[in-house]
A and B are shown apart, each in its own frame.
Chain A
Amino acid sequence: MTAELVRGQNHPLPHTCLEIRVSAGHPVLAAAALGDEEGRVAGPEAVAHPGSAALPGVEVPRQAATAHRLAVDLEAVRDTVHRVSVLLALPLGTGGPTRFGASAAPVVTVTGPDGTAVADYTITGLDRESALVALELYRRQGAWKVRAVGQGYEGGLAALLADQGLDRPAELAGSALDAVAQGLARSVAAPPSRVPDADRLPDGEHAHQAAPGPAQPPVPPATPPRAQTPAQPPVPAQAPAQPPVPPAPPAAGGPIDYTHPSRRPAPAPAPRPAGGPQGPGQEAASAPEGFPAPVAGDAAGWSMDERLYNQVWGMFEDLARATAAYRSACRFAENRLDQELDRVLSDPRSRIGGAGDAARAAAKAKHDELTARAQEVLDRDLAQLAAESEVVEPALPAAYARWDSPVWQAYRVPMEPPMAVRLGDLHLPERTDLRIPFLARLPLARGLWVDSGRGQSAAAGLLDEAELRRLALDSAVAHVARLLAVHPAGSFRVRVIDAAGAGAAAFAPLVGAGVLAGPPAAGAAGVSAVLTQLTERVDLLQMAARAGADEDLPPGLDTAEELLVVHDFPHGFDDRAVNQLRYLADEGPAVGTQLLMVADRADAAAYGPVLDPLWRSLMRLTPVPDDHLADPWVGHAWTYEPPSFPAGSAVLRQVLGQLTDARGQWGPGSR
């Protein structure tokens, strides 16, 4: 049975051949110090650490990790050794946490040769310590025992080693940490750098890092917005591309640089380019007084893509909440006014003289004062968000940008799919010119439905049916073009079902550029053929995923992401096809088959409620502005605006042209 040790407790060891397993919330380095009968550690040669990992009977891992296995053979240690201390330390200077209190308590388990646990010890109560003695294995009257120690040191490994009685502990600690830093540089699976962590380094670290990094150009004071250089991937993507730079040799006498060499570019303020004092002036000017000017990419994330995505969603939430605060204050003022007026009316005293009028005026004044204050706060919040939007919008990469953004002029077919795409804009009636990009994660977990019917929308009611259908097709084409444009060439296939050919004119640019996986399927036979093919593919991929047997898929099967565009539903669909479509809508997204419907629900009314689940499962988008989308926090009705190309713009043709060229270059992906 496993013994749960508490601090100070000891436990006999039934074996001499042991494994000590360490698990911690963040990567730690493990070391072992061998002491004599008095507990003294003879010198650096009696410490097994990542820089000198093996001693007789003891071997420690060479790298920092969240899980370690230390092999200990107590038969093999020298006779003079009476104590083996297991040490853990945080690899400082690699951007990780600097204290054990910042992450989950480390757990140390002593196991026998067959892996059965002998004793367990969770080291709790740690706070600012960055190194600790976890366990001691000690010889008592010829038998070995284990003791839970859990002694932490705020001064790090050096302080710990000094306490063990070592001469020049700092030097030894330095070489251990250095070895870990080099180990990190070699390891391919090193976690991508995290800028927030890097930012936490003290200033001295920054200065020191910046000096030896040959690859890092001095940061230009007025960096152009990131979006201008979409070809330059954000930091983590860069890391593997660079050959590992050996760590710069420490200057004589100078501090040793423990940082991950390929992380050096990370602390560069790349994610906050527009923010410097020389950032574009108009943003700083439009931010409300007394608040910092907003900066694009000012959110958490591993890449610029992700940071902007999170920032946009943050703005979305803030706008929703700021508006909720305003609306609830107004509602409250309204209700209070009603109540007070009622009270005045029901009070007989108010009928004589001016008392009633005075009370009414007072109630009205209270109401106006509260709404005015609420308005003031709302204006402040909206100004801040508008200023942020002004900075963020130009910094958005193609996948998130409006079609009139200059990013599209510099468009190149990307090498990696983005994490999300923009489906349109959202705004609230309080400030209609403050548009929040509506970003949806890829692959689309919900299919899209561009509603070509009237619905209850006022804007749609003004248009005739044919016009509305045309607009629906246009915005569907805009969605499809964007999805194609933001995926690497050949990694995203689009199939179109257009049974009656009614959408031929709208689909013509896509067909002409040869970016579709085939001509739009027409007629009942075409519909059935495409659906059967897709259903089979989804079936196969699903079976493979469930069985974990991806390699058993037929060799011809393309596992690229796929989008099925269905126009004119249910024209050309028989019952079987309808069921297949429902199946695809339900099961497709999990295996990368997404759905985009351009349909008027009224056309399919004959199917009755059978199709309700299908419509509900799709994200309804409209070809004209319509306030049908609710946010996930407070449920305001947001007005959705579909994407549109600027009038007379050639951006669609240009982007599709680039795609066609890229397909030619990258080979048969275009099929």
Chain B
Amino acid sequence: MTVNMTKGQAINLEKQGGGSLTSVRMGLGWQAAPRRGLFGSRTREIDLDASAVLFADKQPVDVVFFRHLVSDDGSVRHTGDNLVGGVGQGGDDEAILVDLQRVPVHIDAIVFTVNSFTGQTFQEVQNAFCRIVDETNGQELARYTLDGGGNYTAQIMAKVHRAGSGWQMTALGNAANGRTFQDLMPAIFPVL
């Protein structure tokens, strides 16, 4: 069962039927811009980037993005930069895997962001989505559709944070502008 999340909605990352999640994937998929007109090679390719920022007590401690693919502790892994998107089959073009069991104890929140590295706003991106998947069984926990988005180039997607003994996810969907996660830091702090 997939929850189509809305802004600000929080879900508990607990498995149906008890047991907490051990491993989740934040997947980002989008469709390459269609070829237009006579000069097909002059397509405007769209490069979206997924990043995850690890916070301990509201301080950024580590970040996983296309230049630092694995967090130092190895619990958060990026599958690698995709520069052009998919062909719209609905698969993840970039993904960040989080092994929740191995996240260091002082990390209490992980914020996922999406940036348009090439500068197109989400209005121009087609079939873009972001989803959270239970990596152990491939079940989609939450999905967020990005396209038809507004006139901005970045979005703070979701926050996964500790709640009690487990983890909770809050869908954020806050609009922001920036090329990489660094530009988003001022926008991230308020959501922590």
Interface residues of A (CB under 8 A from B): 124-125, 127, 317-318, 320-322, 324-326, 328-329, 332-333, 336, 370, 373-374, 377, 381, 633-634
Contact = CB atoms under 8 A, between A and B. Distances in A.
A332 B73 contact: no
Interface of B is mostly: loop
A125 B73 contact: no
Contacts of A634: 72
Given A325-B103, A336-B57, 16 more contacts: A125-B87, A321-B70, A324-B73, A325-B72, A325-B74, A325-B104, A328-B61, A328-B72, A328-B104, A328-B106, A332-B106, A373-B105, A374-B104, A377-B105, A633-B72, A634-B72
Contacts of A328: 61-62, 72-73, 104, 106
Contacts of A324: 72-74
Interface in B68-118: 70, 72-75, 87, 89, 102-106
A154 B185 CA distance: 46
A325 B70 contact: no
B3 interface: no
B87 A329 contact: no
Chain B interface residue number, banded: 10 to 19
A600 B157 CA distance: 57
B191 interface: no
Contacts of B62: 328
B192 interface: no
Contacts of B57: 332, 336
Interface string B17-60: 00000000000000000000000000000000000000011000
Nearest to B89: A125
Contacts of B74: 317-318, 320-322, 324-325, 633
A318 B72 CA distance: 11
Given A124-B87, A634-B72, A325 B56 contact: no
Contacts of B87: 124-125
Greatest chain A CB density within 10 A among B72, B87, B102, B103 is at: B72
B88 to A, nearest CB: 8
Contact of B105 (A125, A127, A320, A329): A329
Contacts of A325: 72-75, 102-105
Interface of A is mostly: helix
4 closest Cβ pairs, A-B complex: A321-B74, A325-B73, A325-B104, A329-B106
Nearest to A126: B89
Nearest to B86: A124
Contacts of B105: 325, 329, 370, 373-374, 377
A381 B104 CA distance: 12
Contacts of B56: 332
A69 B140 CA distance: 42
A213 to B, nearest CB: 33
Contacts of B73: 321-322, 324-325, 328
Contacts of A320: 74
Nearest to B87: A124
Given A125-B87, A127-B89, A325-B75, A333 B70 contact: no
A320 B89 CA distance: 38
A409 B73 CA distance: 39
Contacts of A377: 102, 104-105
Contacts of B72: 321, 324-325, 328, 633-634
A176 to B, nearest CB: 28
B89 A326 contact: no
A381 B62 CA distance: 21
Contacts of A333: 106
B75 A332 contact: no
A125 B86 CA distance: 10
B97 to A, nearest CB: 14
Nearest to B59: A332
A633 B75 CA distance: 13
B68 to A, nearest CB: 11
B107 to A, nearest CB: 8
B89 A374 contact: no
A329 B74 CA distance: 14
B17 to A, nearest CB: 18
Nearest to B101: A377
Contacts of B102: 322, 325, 377, 381
Contacts of B75: 321, 325
A381 B57 CA distance: 24
A22 B157 CA distance: 42
B74 to A, nearest CB: 3
Greatest chain B CB density within 10 A among A328, A336, A381, A634 is at: A328
A127 B87 CA distance: 12
Contacts of A317: 74
A332 B103 CA distance: 14
Nearest to A375: B105
10 contacts: A125-B87, A125-B89, A317-B74, A322-B74, A325-B72, A325-B73, A332-B56, A332-B106, A336-B57, A633-B74
Contacts of A329: 104-106
Contacts of B106: 328-329, 332-333, 370, 374
B13 to A, nearest CB: 19
A324 B106 CA distance: 12
A124 B32 CA distance: 13
A573 to B, nearest CB: 43
Contacts of A318: 74
Contacts of B89: 125, 127
